[in-house]
């Protein structure tokens, strides 16, 4: 068990923001916590699951996770859910209604923004949800603040009768800092009280709640104006003052330690009165926002003069290297990068799949098919868009491969009439948002071949369990979805449903080619586990016999990172065509003996090597 789980009150621990949030949730007396994994929020639920007196679960998607938390709150229990920024889009249907209904037990939602897109398909600013949902937003700058704000957010939620969003960014989620912890509070559920006018939100009932919500807005503004979470850090150089929130406040203090700073912890609604007063104490006000110019626009609408995105970039983190060159000219101090302060030129390392990943075979096979349009999805298999496979044509959002593929089929013109449409999706993503898309394909008689890559894990976020793995968040046995029965229940004919070993390339190629020629929905399910989970079984590794290698490079097209080019050359074919040759070796210590490269090697130059690790033979 994690040491912090057993930590006694008033002790200090080095915690990431995500670990600090988990501790705060437990101390706040939360009874129910739910989430779907997504970087950078994943570790929050993983750590909450270590506390035995909190019910925790991986939900199948973010909408379900917030619904579980809402249900617990209605029963009077304190409830929590976490998600990354794009997950909030999925959860928003339930969320936007609950802001109108309010809460009984405190309901806190941590939304983590991936500022700079380290692992996301877009950059969103989740502060907008506060304006959209008429609810408070809290923004911690480090682990200690994340701990304190999450813990205090439950009482705030109950006092304001509103869910509370705690907006964090990757910088807070993953960076560690010292945190002084406390004790768990006792918070017994108040119990369910029937109140159809509140909980059954028919149009008439919802309409009646709107004046109440507007009244709450006024209360929220009073709280924001008075909140101790909004505080001024005094500075002697009043030529420029800064208004900011979250980790950007740390960057401002590092770049301009003598400047006055108004740091917002309770950032929605904005405390306009206090900001106006602060602006009057400095010559120029600069609003530093990681994301959209949300505050800047509000201030300008309120008649408060300020700088913001006119001098600062619209995306990415606002580190000192960004702030200094942008703000120094306002002070009449042109900025020059310090000598030796050159950005490191790192060798490019494009993301790729793991050695022996079970997705390598499907993408190698797809790259060999002609006249195919491939709709992809979110997950490890998104990497199939890269070299050497180049086997994805679109990737939009979680589960979108299905609907996009159907749209491609129905929207095709004469130039694409003879092309097959393939949708690629992973097991967890299919359960998250893909099932409805497949149902739409079968219901509307789409001509789409679905490749369901079941690797028994949420691979991209670290191998978490889900409803298709047979284990719950605690690693205990749980009912496991039968994908064959599921896709057939969604309308796929039994003869159009196939289960294939992704390491058997000839079989995979034959089934894919067969199904893409048949004009009706079909599903091909691959059945090998992620190489990073315990279910994966290694085999005897391989090596290349140098003398036998012809340099054809076919094995490189599999994309396995354990295969390296040792020498390049050129040759002229009998036809007179010049071809490139690539002679290779296999990193035997990394090889798991999956056999994919062997199947591509015509001269049989790849043979078993002596095992360098413990090997189990079937």
Q: Which residue positions form the known binding site for [4Fe-4S] cluster?
A: 549, 552, 555, 560, 591, 594, 597, 601
Name the residue among 258, 290, 14, 30 with its Cα closest to residue 141.
Answer: 290
Whether residue 48 contacts residue 56, with contact meaning beta carbons closer than 8 Å, is answered with yes
Name the residue among 408, 463, 453, 407 with its Cα closest to residue 430.
Answer: 453
Whether residue 300 contacts residue 258, with contact meaning beta carbons closer than 8 Å, is answered with no
Name the residue among 181, 112, 180, 171 with its Cα closest to residue 142.
Answer: 171
Tell me how far apart the alpha carbons of residues 219 and 139 are, in angstroms, rounded to a whole number: 19
For residue 471 the two structure tokens come to 């284990």
Half-sphere exposure of 538 (CA within 13 A, CB side): 17
Q: If 0-12 CB within 10 Å is exposed, 13-18 middle and 19+ buried, where does residue 211 land?
A: exposed
Tell me how far apart the alpha carbons of residues 423 and 403 are, in angstroms, rounded to a whole number: 9
Whether residue 4 contacts residue 52, with contact meaning beta carbons closer than 8 Å, is answered with no
Sign of the four-CA dihedral 83, 84, 85, 90: negative
Tell me how far apart the alpha carbons of residues 505 and 323 are, in angstroms, rounded to a whole number: 53
234-239 contact pairs (CB < 8 A, 24+)? 234/260, 235/259, 235/260, 235/261, 238/281, 238/282, 238/283, 239/282, 239/283, 239/284, 239/330, 239/331
Residue with tokens 């586990």: 529
Q: Which residues are annotated as a binding site?
A: 549, 552, 555, 560, 591, 594, 597, 601
Q: If 0-12 CB within 10 Å is exposed, 13-18 middle and 19+ buried, where does residue 479 land?
A: exposed
Tell me how far apart the alpha carbons of residues 362 and 509 are, in angstroms, rounded to a whole number: 8
Cα–Cα–Cα angle for 296, 297, 300, rounded to 5 degrees: 85
Whether residue 78 contacts residue 190, with contact meaning beta carbons closer than 8 Å, is answered with no
SS3 content of the chain, % helix, strand, coil (to 5): 35, 20, 45
Whether residue 58 contacts residue 88, with contact meaning beta carbons closer than 8 Å, is answered with no
Strand arrangement of the beta sheet that strand 449-453 belongs to: 372-375, 420-426, 449-453, 522-526, 497-500
Half-sphere exposure of 432 (CA within 13 A, CB side): 27
């Amino acid at each position: 068990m994690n040491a912090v789980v057993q930590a006694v009150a008033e002790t200090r621990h080095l915690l990431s923001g995500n670990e600090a949030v988990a501790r705060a949730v437990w101390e706040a007396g939360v009874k129910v916590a739910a989430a779907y994994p997504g970087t950078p929020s994943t570790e929050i639920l993983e750590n909450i699951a270590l506390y035995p007196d909190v019910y925790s679960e991986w939900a199948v998607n973010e909408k379900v996770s917030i619904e579980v938390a809402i249900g617990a709150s209605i029963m009077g229990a304190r409830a929590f859910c976490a998600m990354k920024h794009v997950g909030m889009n999925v959860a928003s249907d339930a969320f936007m209604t609950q802001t109108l209904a309010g809460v009984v037990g405190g309901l806190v939602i941590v939304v983590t923004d991936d500022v700079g897109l380290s692992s996301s398909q877009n950059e969103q600013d989740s502060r907008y949800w506060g304006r959209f949902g008429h609810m408070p937003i809290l923004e911690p700058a480090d682990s200690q603040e994340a701990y304190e704000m999450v813990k205090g957010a439950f009482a705030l939620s109950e006092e304001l009768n509103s869910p509370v969003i705690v907006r964090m960014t990757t910088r807070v989620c993953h960076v560690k800092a010292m945190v002084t912890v406390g004790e768990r509070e006792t918070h017994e559920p108040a119990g369910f009280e029937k109140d159809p006018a509140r909980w059954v939100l028919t149009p008439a009932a919802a309409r009646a709640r709107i004046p109440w919500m507007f009244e709450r807005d006024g209360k929220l503004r009073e709280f924001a104006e008075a909140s101790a979470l909004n505080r001024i850090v005094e500075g002697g150089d009043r030529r420029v003052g800064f208004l900011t929130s979250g980790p950007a406040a740390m960057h401002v203090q590092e770049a301009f330690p003598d400047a006055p700073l108004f740091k917002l912890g309770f950032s929605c609604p904005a405390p306009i009165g206090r900001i106006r007063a602060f602006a009057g104490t400095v010559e120029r006000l600069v609003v530093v926002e990681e994301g959209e110019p949300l505050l800047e626009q509000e201030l300008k609408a309120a008649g408060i003069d300020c700088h913001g995105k006119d001098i600062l970039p619209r995306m990415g983190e606002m580190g000192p290297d960004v702030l200094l060159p942008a703000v120094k000219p306002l002070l009449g101090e042109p900025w020059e990068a310090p000598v030796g302060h050159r950005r490191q030129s790192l060798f490019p390392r494009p993301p790729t799949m793991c050695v022996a990943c079970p997705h390598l075979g499907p993408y190698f096979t797809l790259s060999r098919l002609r006249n195919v349009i491939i709709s992809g999805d979110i997950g490890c298999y998104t990497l199939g868009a890269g070299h050497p496979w180049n086997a994805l044509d679109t990737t939009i959002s979680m589960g979108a491969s299905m609907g996009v593929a159907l749209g491609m089929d129905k929207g095709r013109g004469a130039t694409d009439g003879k092309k097959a449409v393939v949708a690629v999706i992973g097991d967890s993503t299919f359960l998250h948002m893909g099932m409805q898309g497949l149902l739409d394909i079968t219901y509307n008689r789409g001509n789409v071949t679905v490749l369901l890559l079941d690797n028994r894990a949420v691979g991209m976020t670290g191998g978490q369990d889900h409803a298709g793995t047979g284990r719950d968040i605690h690693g205990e046995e749980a009912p496991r979805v039968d994908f064959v029965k599921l896709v057939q229940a969604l309308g796929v004919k039994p003869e159009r449903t196939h289960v294939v070993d992704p390491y058997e390339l000839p079989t995979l190629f034959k089934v894919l080619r067969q199904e893409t020629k048949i004009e009706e929905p079909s599903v091909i399910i691959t059945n090998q586990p992620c190489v990073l989970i315990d279910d994966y079984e290694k085999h005897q590794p391989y090596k290349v016999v140098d003398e036998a290698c012809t340099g054809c490079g076919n094995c490189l097209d599999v994309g396995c990172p354990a295969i390296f080019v040792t020498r390049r050359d050129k040759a002229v074919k009998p036809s007179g065509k010049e071809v490139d040759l690539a002679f290779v070796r296999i990193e035997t210590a990394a090889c798991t003996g999956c056999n994919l490269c062997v199947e591509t090697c015509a001269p049989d130059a790849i043979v078993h090597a002596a095992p360098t690790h413990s090997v189990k033979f079937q």
